[in-house]
Amino acid sequence: MFTGIVEETGEIVARERTDDGLRLRIGADTVATGLEHGQSISVSGACLTVEEYDEGAWFEVFLATETVERTYLGDLEVGDTVNLERAMPADGRFDGHVVQGHVDAVATVRNIESVEEDWFFEFDLPEGYDRYVVEKGSITLDGISLTVADLDADAGRVTVAIIPTTYELTTLSEKAPGDPVHLEVDVLSKYVERLLETRFEDR
């Protein structure tokens, strides 16, 4: 489990296509320190498993075909950056919200507006996902725990406010209209939906 609080950005330093998927080597400092084989790391919101690593320098992850198809990670090239977060320790501080690292879909940046020191990012949601989003609720975009500032459910658009620290310490500063972002909606909303569906089915 993750919290959506990005620890640092990493850089794709190598990529290798295989018959089964894609292997990425990601350069990092903090996140690549104290790693163990099999450890989970959120890479721009996708939970991936560490296969190899060089202490304090880089780590490698493998993306199965399903992960490549569900995310945009397969489109990344050497030199591109990603948001990184290690799994939350049991005794850690919970600063974000419950993030599983299971990408639901890919959303698209629609508009970016600078307002004084803050930034407002508007995203087009994939069809059907607006029902999981509520104003002032939590949403995960590229592994970042964010609060919904505005929701236009009819148009399938969501807006989030970005403070300078988040803008500077994540890949959001590199995004432009038309760019993809990984979307993970609040898992609690999906559980509530399923419970209600089951209840009405039973009736």
Q: Is residue 39 part of a domain?
A: yes
CA distance 1 to 88: 6
Query: Residue 120: which residues within 8 A CB-CB, separation 6 or more?
Result: 111, 112, 113, 149, 159, 160, 161, 162
Average pLDDT over residues 35-44: 95
Q: Say yes or no: 54 and 129 in one domain.
A: no
Would residue 54 count as lying in a domain?
yes
Residues 63 and 117 in one domain: no
Domain boundary residue among 33, 55, 86? Answer: 86
Percentage of residues in the chain having pLDDT higher than 70: 95
Position 131 in a domain: yes
Give the residue-averaged pLDDT of 54-77: 96
List, in sequence order, every residue forming a beta bridge with 139; answer none if it has no partner: 146, 185
* 47 classed as catalytic: yes
pLDDT band of residue 141 (cuts 50, 70, 90) is very high
Dist. CA 6–CA 82, nearest whole Å: 10
Q: Is 120 an active-site residue?
A: no
Q: What is the pLDDT of residue 90?
A: 67
What is the domain extent for residue 181?
Answer: 105-188
Query: Is position 64 annotated as part of the catalytic site?
Result: yes
Q: Considering 30, 33, 49, 198, which one is annotated as catalytic? A: 49
pLDDT at 88: 83
Q: Which of 30, 57, 102, 153 is catalytic?
A: 102
Other C-beta atoms within 10 Å of 22: how many? 18
pLDDT, mean of residues 126-151: 94
Beta bridge partners of 83: 9
Residues 2-35: tens digit of each pLDDT: 999 999 999 999 999 988 899 999 999 999 999 9
Q: Could you tell me if residue 199 is inside a domain?
A: no
Distance separating alpha carbons of residues 94 and 90, to the nearest angstrom:
10
- 2 among known catalytic residues: yes
CATH number at residue 13: 2.40.30.20
Q: Which of 14, 147, 155, 198 is catalytic?
A: 147
Catalytic one of 28, 32, 47, 107: 47
**Interior CA angle at 61 toward 80 and 168, to 5°?**
35
Q: Examine the residue annotation and report whether 121 is marked as an active-site residue of this protein.
A: no
Query: Per residue in 158-185, is it b (16+ CB within 10 Å) or e — as a string?
Result: bbbebeeebbebbbbeebeeebbbbbbb
Over the chain, what is the mean pLDDT? 92
Active site residue 102: yes
Residue 49 lies inside a defined structural domain of this protein:
yes
* 70 and 112 co-located in one domain: no
68-79 mean pLDDT? 96
Which of 90 and 145 is assigned the larger pLDDT?
Answer: 145
Q: Evaluate if pTM is beyond 0.95.
A: no
- Which member of 14, 57, 64, 153 is catalytic? 64
Rounded CA-CA distance 58/28 in Å is 5
Q: What is the pLDDT of residues 181-190, one digit of tens each?
A: 999 998 777 7
Q: Is 107 a catalytic residue?
A: no
In this prediction, residue 192 carries a pLDDT of: 77
Range 118-133 average pLDDT: 94
